[in-house]
Amino acid sequence: MSQQHDIYYVPSKSQWPIVAAVVMFITVFGAAHWLNAEPGESGFGKTVITIGAIGILGMFFGWFRSVIKESLAGNYNHQVDTSFRMGMMWFIFSEVMFFGAFFGALFYIRNFSVPWLGGEGHGVLTHQYLYGAYSAAWGAAGGNGPLQVGGAFSVVQPWGLPLLNTLILLTSSVTVTIAHHALRAGHRGKILLFLGLTVLLGATFLYCQAHEYMEAYKELNLTLHSGVYGSTFFMLTGFHGLHVTLGTIMLAVIWCRVLKGHFNKEHHFGFEAVAWYWHFVDVVWLGLFLFVYIL
Amino acid sequence: MAHEATHDQHDHHHAPQGFFQRWVMSTNHKDIGTLYLIFSLTMFFIGGSFAMVIRAELFKPGLDLVQPYFFNEMTTMHALVMIFGAIMPAFVGLGNWMIPLMIGAPDMALPRMNNLSFWILPFAFALMLSTLFLPGGGPAGGWTMYPPLSLQSGSLAYVVFSIHLMGISSIMGAINIIATILNMRAPGMDLLKMPVFVWSWLITAFLLIAVMPVLAGAVTMLLTDKYFGTSFFNPGGGGDPVLYQHVFWFFGHPEVYIMILPAFGIISEIVPTFARKPIFGYRAMVYAIACIAFLSFIVWAHHMFAVGLPLGADIFFMYATMLIAVPTGVKVFNWVATMWGGSMTFETPMLFAIAFIILFTIGGFSGLMLALVPADFQYHDTYFVVAHFHYVLVTGAAFAIMAATYYWLPKWTGHMYNEFWGKVHFWCSVVFVNVLFFPQHFLGLAGMPRRIPDYNVAFANFNMISSIGGFLFGASQLIFLGVVVHCAFFARKKAADRVWEGAKGLEWTVPSPAPHHTFEVPPVVRDEELAHGHVND
Ligand code: HEM
Ligand SMILES: [Cu+2]
């Protein structure tokens, strides 16, 4: 792998890393300030977050633009390409672990903490002293714990919108793969069509999810406050939705880049990185559909 | 595909650059490594000053100096600053400097991301340290941030976000290191010919990518529990505070190995150099690191024996934990076997390395004692645990970092450090660190709890001894600062390219100080030059 080059490439200096550090700092500083503000206090948190967020967008735009320019100028050799690929793969692995933390929490709660609170096995004393009336159950019957945090609620049925969303994401995985094959075969029109379809499917998914959230809040009384059921439901699906949003934006950017002719048969790391990301988001969804909605 | 010369034109052979350009917009692994090391040293002194406050308060029984809440802020911040600000960035800095030199690469694989990884850190720590000046005070629930206590802290959001930032920085740093090692090796530098330090970083980077996101998840749940009404850690809502401990320690135990594996790598470089013998059992050393890394994922609950785990879990985690002693033992024996029959000299790096081997082993033994479930019921949350992890982290990780600094400083600066003062620093450190931490074993066995500002008069003597050791150890580190600053700016004695007579490896084939750009063209690797060139024969 490392043997096929006779000179190394080292990129030139860039202002973007320090800009990135500054805008990230501004954003989280604003967020922390906002969260910490006293109830009545107005505070400047929100303004600062907005400035930071705009800064982050600008930073991404600027940084990627300079990278794309260098890439089009043919600066990046095969070795650089491999480094990028490795970077993306390990980044996705870190994302897998991030979701792993929340899936792990879900499994622990369902298999241990809720049954124990119901008096099973290890938790018998907590049950006896604190929550004698609670019988362990998941979903609407007891997923918000002994104190019924958030009040009675009902759950989202898996075989309606969630099933549709599953089909949408699975289809989008197929369309992005077709686009990839088209790219390797050099059919521009076909790429644009199928990549465009993928973007649309992603957007539809997000629309359906927003709809589902609205229904959950308005009609089912299933909210972020609905005990640990609500916590796991919204945190898992919410973080996933965030990733779909990002993925959709990235796909849209790639679509524009295809339109501009940035990729050729051999040189299309940007496309592949986004496609990998999209598959990852898809797989996470399958886990969600199974463990959050069905089981 | 373009393999031809695609060297960047703006950057090279353009010697004079502005200060801002050079240090803030850098894409140079040496400059970024230097930044990391300076940052780490700064944090070492900030965290150290917190420790001085702790030891001053504990000098004698009674609440003499500080308020209890402030004391708790100090224990919390001391740990967070030392772990995330001093030890980890020091290893990343060393990796930045040395990995490309050791594998014959011109730089890190992703130099701009490298710069971002560094520059996030000062901001993250500014955010965290700023909480000390907020009206509500800083975090005071311990570096482990267990709920429900940590949820009471007004500054939780600041700490959580600064941990997010550090996590992003570590993950990017780790991705960079993996890509560098896997993709940028000079032709002929096979994986099993790499220096052990490079191997240790490869595996550490994997651990970082695997567990930093889990920490991010854990603290995110804290954040939403406090500010957004979720119930992850609230039994009333079906959650469980112990869940936090599981998620945290799934990160936390690999994290302690993140802080020791690169140290193993450093010691494995230094010992062969000064014993003038190749390392004993190179492959075993590599496999042992991999084995430790694997085991580190299945032992986390040894931090939680006292919360009341199911019996089966207690037993599983006890035995799994004790298993780690096996590969760790392999390493210790191999270092000793490397020295055995060697023609040894005792320059400062070697002194620190030998102290590491002995004192880290003591920490390993106290770890084994803690791994015994019935014994840990007694030892948990006492000063015995404090003694354990300071032996592995101070005389382990920190000593290895100091050893590495003395070992490579001449390569970085081009000048020899002052050997006499280096030795003074070593002897002061090694004596006082034991005065500081050894009595804490007895305090713990006698039942003195950790993280309290006041204690029973029965513990007075040993606490006073420990505090005296602490002040003197702290003061000794000023010698370190002096030696480093002197070497960087004032030293006269030029260092040879191969600074140490017995040193092998590519990093010694470049001039001292290492020029701004090295290995712009892949070097021809000859096996005789490498420390492990012939392992496959
Ligand atoms: C043979 C190897 C080791 C074993 C068997 C071991 C075992 C343990 C056990 C059982 C505990 C929990 C004690 C308690 O809270 O009751 C513990 C705590 C700790 N260990 Fe180790 N350990 C080993 C090596 C290390 C190493 C190499 C490091 C770091 C470089 C380390 C760092 C720590 C830290 C920081 C804590 C305390 C965490 C806290 O509660 O704040 N240990 N160790
Ligand atoms: Cu541990």
Q: In this structure, are residues A128 and A119 in contact, taking their beta carbons and an 8 Å threshold?
A: yes
| Same domain, yes or no: A82 and A198 | yes
Task: Compute the nearest-CA separation of A106 from chain B (Å).
Answer: 9
B364 lines ligand 1 (CB under 6 A): yes
What single string gives the DSSP state of each residue in A18-47? HHHHHHHHHHHHHHHHHHHS-TT---SHHH
Share of chain B above pLDDT 70, in %: 96
Amino acid occupying residue B380: H
Report B:99-138 residues touching A (Cβ under 8 A).
105-107, 109-113, 115-116, 119-120, 123-124, 126-127, 134, 136
Alpha helices in A135-226 (DSSP H): 161-185, 188-215
Residue type, B180: T
Task: Examine the fold and report which residue of A60, A76, A92 is the final residue of a domain before the chain moves on.
Answer: A76
Same domain flag for A30 and A125: no
Rg (C-alpha) for chain A, rounded Å, is 23
Looking at the structure, tell me whether residues A46 and A132 fall in a common domain.
no
Are A40 and A169 in the same domain?
no
Integer angstrom CA distances of residue B352 from B199, B356, B423: 21, 6, 9
A40-58 confidence digits (pLDDT tens): 776 788 899 999 999 999 9
Chain A partners of B176 at a C-beta cutoff of 8 Å? Answer: 87
CB contact set of A219 (below 8 Å; sequence gap of 6+): none
Contact B237 A144 (CB under 8 A): yes
Best mutation target, A15, A24, A138, to test chain B (most B CBs within 10 A): A24
Cα-Cα-Cα-Cα dihedral of B297, B302, B306, B308, to 10°?
50
Instruction: Identify whether residues A158 and A245 lie together within a single domain.
Output: yes
Locate tokens 């106290």: which residue? B366
Compute the distance from residue B46 Cα to the ligand 1 centre, in Å: 24
**Cα-to-centroid distance, B367 and ligand 1 (Å):** 6
Total domain count, chain A: 2
Question: Do B216 and A98 make contact, defined as CB atoms within 8 angstroms?
Answer: yes
Same domain for A32 and A132: no
CB-based contacts of A218: which residues, under 8 Å, 6+ apart? none
Length in residues, chain A: 295
Residue given tokens 């990627």 in the structure block: A64
Count how many pairs of residues, chain A against chain B, have C-beta atoms within 8 Å. 287
* pLDDT reported for residue A258: 94
Considering the domain architecture, whether residues A231 and A150 belong to the same structural domain is answered as yes
User: A166 and A278 in contact (C-beta within 8 Å)?
Assistant: no
Pick from A18, A87, A122: CB nearest B25: A18
Looking at residue A37, its pLDDT comes to 80
Q: Is the CB of B396 under 6 A from ligand 1?
A: yes
B152 at A interface, C-beta within 8 A: no
Give yes or no: residues A156 and A278 share one domain. yes
Q: How many CA atoms lie within 13 A of B453 on its CB side?
A: 18
Residues 6 or more apart whose CB falls under 8 angstroms from that of B85 comprise B39, B40, B43, B44, B46, B47, B121, B125
ipTM: 0.95
Which of the following is catalytic: B276, B423, B450, B451? Answer: B450
Is the confidence at residue A164, as pLDDT, over 90? yes
Helix then strand then coil, % of chain A, to nearest 5: 75, 0, 25
The DSSP bridge partners found for residue B415 are B494
pLDDT single digits (tens) A228-255: 999 999 999 999 999 999 999 999 999 9
Q: Which residue of A has its CA nearest to B130?
A: A29
Write down the pLDDT at residue A3: 40
Long-range contacts of A267-274 (CB under 8 A, 24+ apart): A267/A71, A267/A81, A268/A183, A269/A81, A269/A84, A269/A85, A270/A68, A270/A71, A271/A180, A271/A183, A272/A85, A272/A180, A273/A84, A273/A85, A273/A88, A274/A247, A274/A250
Mean of the per-residue pLDDT values for chain A?
93
Q: Assess whether the C-beta atom of B535 lies below 6 angstroms from ligand 1.
A: no
Say yes or no: A90 and A230 in one domain. Answer: yes
Residue A243 region, left (φ>0) first, then alpha (ψ -120 to 50), else beta? alpha
The Cα–Cα gap between A21 and B124 comes to: 9
List the structure tokens of A288: 């969600």
pLDDT at B3: 36
Residue A1 has pLDDT above 60, yes or no: no
Per the annotation, the verdict on B303 as an active-site residue is yes
Taken in order B333, B338, B344, B349, the sign of the CA dihedral is negative
Helix (H) or strand (E) holding B156: helix B156-183
Q: Final residue of a domain: which of A33, A58, A76?
A: A76
Is A63 found in the same domain as A91? no
Q: Which amino acid is at B308?
A: G
The Cα-based distances of B402 to A4, A88, B486 in angstroms read: 38, 34, 15
Report residue B139 CA to chain centroid gap. Answer: 22
Determine the pLDDT at residue B530: 85
Let me know if B143 is a catalytic residue. Answer: yes
Tell me, what CATH number does A159's domain have?
Answer: 1.20.120.80
Question: What is d(CA B452, CA A241) in angstroms, rounded to the nearest whole number?
Answer: 44
The answer to whether residues B368 and B384 touch, using CB atoms and an 8 Å cutoff, is no
Task: Measure B59 CA to nearest chain A CA, in Å.
Answer: 36
| Gap from CA of B197 to ligand 2 centroid (Å) | 23
A72 CB-contact burial (10 Å; exposed 0-12 / middle 13-18 / buried 19+): middle
Report the sign of the C-alpha dihedral through residues B230, B234, B237, B243, in that order: positive
Check residue B352 and give its pLDDT.
98
Give residue A28's domain range.
Answer: 1-76
Residues A175 and A208 in one domain: yes
What is the 3-class SS of B486-508, one letter each residue? HHHHHCCCECCCCCCCCCCCHHH
Residue B78 is among the residues annotated as catalytic for this protein = yes
- Distance to chain B for A258, nearest Cα, Å: 20
- Chosen domain end from A42, A61, A76: A76
**For the residues of B39-67, what is the DSSP string, one character each?**
HHHHHHHHHHHHHHHHHHHTTSSS--SS-
Contact B335, B271 (CB under 8 A): yes
Low-confidence ranges of chain B (pLDDT < 50): 1-15, 537
Instruction: Kindly report, residue by residue over A87-124, the tens digit of the pLDDT.
Output: 999 999 999 999 999 999 999 999 999 999 999 877 77
pLDDT digit string (tens) for B92-135? Answer: 999 999 999 999 999 999 999 999 999 999 999 999 999 999 88
d(CA A231, CA A94): 22
For residue B518, the one-letter residue type is T
- Cβ atoms of B196 and B285 within 8 Å: the answer is yes
First to last CA, chain A: 44
- C-alpha B518/C-alpha B511 separation (Å) is 9
Amino acid at B245: Q
B494 forms beta bridges with B415
* pLDDT value of residue A6: 53
A170/A47 same-domain check: no
Q: Which residues of B touch A224 (CB under 8 A)?
A: 224, 228-230
Could you tell me the two tokens for B537?
A: 């024969």
Q: What are the residues whose beta carbon lies below 5 Å from ligand 2 (ion)?
A: B 253
Q: Name residue B70's amino acid.
A: F
Cα(B22)–Cα(B450) distance, integer angstroms: 45
Query: Is B271 close to ligand 1, i.e. is its CB under 6 Å away?
Result: no
Q: Is B494 helix (H, G, I), strand (E, B) or coil?
A: strand
B496 lines ligand 1 (CB under 6 A): no
